[in-house]
Chain A
């Protein structure tokens, strides 16, 4: 909790820090890291109900396309909200059809959903199809730091939502659903409704992050927006940082995206080797992610 607050505070003041010539680069990297961390936090919310989603890359893409298409008519902030709402609407439809499935069956169904979305966007005329879609910058480019603070805002919203949910009655229903769905149902937990509500909140946040991403990259293609890579990123980060926590995906996202960018700069094409070794070592020695380090320290202090 304290670590999350420090990280968010750092994100807010980053543009004012004396970073010298690295300022613009750091802000660009940080902006992408915030958005991917937001996506990871959104994914983790659903994971708390025990569901392994491979659709979050598609929600990110849907939010990106919806925001990009509506921004010229609605303006930046309403367009981002539309992006989140469209992602949530699709999650409702998908959830109604698939949330009774478990484990790998649900994962495969969500993967199929991503493929269907990619194909639809690819074939549709209004999305630019395979040619791609140019996107307006946030606030028409009027504020140089506008896009950056939108990314910070998305990260804050995702973090606060995650914290609020972890302190709510829904949290207990989510945990009970994950730990034993049949038992939870017997105890009166409306399991499918819990999963559906969480799925929609989670998709809304992913769509919001996708909208800001689109306004940063200025161009969307179905391949980039709906690629499996983003869905994998969304689940690798919480596993690396620490599942079912708020600080874990937040910390994991910031470290993984920054590490990847830094490694690419330093060792070029060899970066994947180091990146892969870091991930494997983390999973081997910290199966509960980076957050287990803090838990151990806290445990040692209490002993």
Chain B
């Protein structure tokens, strides 16, 4: 019987799923992904994590619980650093320990450290990971090569303008790539953590809601890494959060881009890095005067409130376009 590896549909799932999944499958394992977020999953997460913990991490607890009894091992890498001289957020460094001490009756955790703070290659991480399942170094190497290849293809699809779910559809379900939705309608950049904006339940269908109102939507992940990083160098000091880099870099780029009419910043309630990067972004947007909406999500957010604010934001954008430049609304 093949071993079942569980991957929670949370945190950096939207960045790295193809990488993890390809690697495990190439080693002959069966990958089980937790089900899309529902009220049940979220509530299970809320009950099993501390009150002060942020929404994305509490949700990740829910996804771990969803997998708990369906898999042989759980894959919860300790993501210390995914780029040189950068971190993600302290909670990613402590996540496996938080889960281990917060949930009882777990299957074995596979939690190797991914730490690229002083290194460039993730290969040692994959060697450590693969050793849990096989002693065959060649098999691990080949699985790693294959995983990196599929991941590169995934990133390519994102840079073409696809969102993670669509790109995963192309990779795994044979969906056609489709053409970029051209034509009129205002364009809005949605800036936020992948686990907030791409999770339809948590974001209350923000992306499809925008698309449904005839808005063209783009996100930080549609931009090449080099461009985002170059923009972020305009900060007075190197930002040591990888996700913050992406958000600031993308915000700076979209602010200057004449094709983008408005910016929505999505943060989770009490998110540490967001409290500072969001502040820098909103100060810069205010100076430049583009329509801006700051949405803060938490487990108590109500759909009606979000819809109202979105509508107001879209109204404002529409009105701005009919006004001659320089006049304020």
Whether A and B are associated in the same complex: the answer reads no
